[in-house]
Amino acid sequence: MIGRVANLLRGDAIRDRIMPPSPLLGAGVLAASIALSTLAALAMLVVVQVHTTAARWTDDLSRAVTLQLPSGLGEDAQTKIASILSATPGVLSSTELSAEAQRALIAPFLGRDLTLDLASLPMMISLDVQPGQFDETGLRARLAGELPGVRVIAHGQGRQPLLETARSIRWLAIAALVLVQLGLMVLVALAVMARLASNRQVIETLRLVGANDALIERGFGRQITMQTGLGAVIGTVIAGLAGLVLPLETGALTFMLLLVPIAALASAWLASRQTARYLLRQMS
């Protein structure tokens, strides 16, 4: 397999000279390959970006817990809450939300111009916890027994809808990637059909001078495959430049830049060889 790929990339000077070029068709294959490969690379970017963002958000949600305290609690109650938190395993830190912080949380839902009596709002304490070590059950039990009005809001419970949405987006992007590859194979097959049909007399002449179908097949297939591969590289670079504005890891971007051209080259090689082989048999 590696030898075949090397032969494809290296080419054959004699074989390439006897295969008549087709600049117009080659330009069309190149342009279409650039467009399709750009779409494929962008779909890969969506998959990587959604996976990275969902992982980061779910990690943040799993570490976030909020205590909602009834308004008007005295200092004794607040001291008791601080004591309970210090004795609860997995609580890394606690921060009381200021009035301005609460106003910022409410503003997206009620507007910034709405006048609120912040004194009537419940006190909010944000906790940073260690997933797997945080004793949520024990904290709820202690607060329910000593301070019944305090609510514990574990934001990690909202991870599942986020994960399901991210999973759906990933599958849609993967489906788009598969459809683009199928479209690329159809494009290559049509290009091979057009080239063979327009060069029927050349093919008959090559057969008369002793060229076998394998030689003809490789000649026509290699030209279109290399045009497709060049278009895939250009399209991937275009998408890669767009990906530079996203907070992607270098490894993820490199993986995308390698996978799309290789997949396009493999799809084009397979489609061109199989199509040429079938049509040459029909011409015999």
Report CA-CA distances (Å) from 79 to 82, 153, 218: 5, 20, 81
Q: Are 11 and 222 in contact (CB under 8 A)?
A: yes
Q: Encoding tokens for residue 132?
A: 């797997």
Residues whose CB is less than 8 angstroms from the CB of residue 256 and which lie 6 or more positions away in sequence, other chains included: 41, 44, 45, 48, 236, 239, 240, 243
Q: Encoding tokens for residue 210?
A: 């002793």
Task: Please state the φ and ψ torsions of residue 52, each to the nearest 5 degrees.
Answer: -65, -45
- Of the chain, the end-to-end C-alpha distance in Å amounts to 28
What distance in Å separates the CA atoms of residue 81 and residue 60, rounded to the nearest whole number? 23
Class of residue 58 by CB neighbours under 10 A (exposed 0-12, middle 13-18, buried 19+) = middle
Give me the sheet containing 91-96, strands edge to edge.
Answer: 91-96, 123-129, 64-69, 151-154
Amino acid, res. 61: L
List the pLDDT tens digit at each of the 284 positions of the chain.
444 544 544 545 555 555 666 778 888 889 999 999 888 888 888 777 777 777 777 777 777 787 887 766 667 777 888 888 888 888 888 777 776 776 676 666 566 665 655 555 677 787 888 877 888 788 888 888 887 878 887 776 666 777 788 788 878 878 888 888 899 999 999 988 888 888 888 888 888 888 788 877 777 778 888 889 899 999 988 888 877 776 666 666 677 678 888 888 888 888 988 888 888 888 87
- Residue 212 has a pLDDT of 81
| Nearest CA-CA partner of 152 in 62, 67, 61 | 67
Count CB neighbours of 232 within 10 A: 27
What distance in Å separates the CA atoms of residue 149 and residue 103, rounded to the nearest whole number? 22
- Residue 5 has a pLDDT of 47
Q: Encoding tokens for residue 159?
A: 């991870």
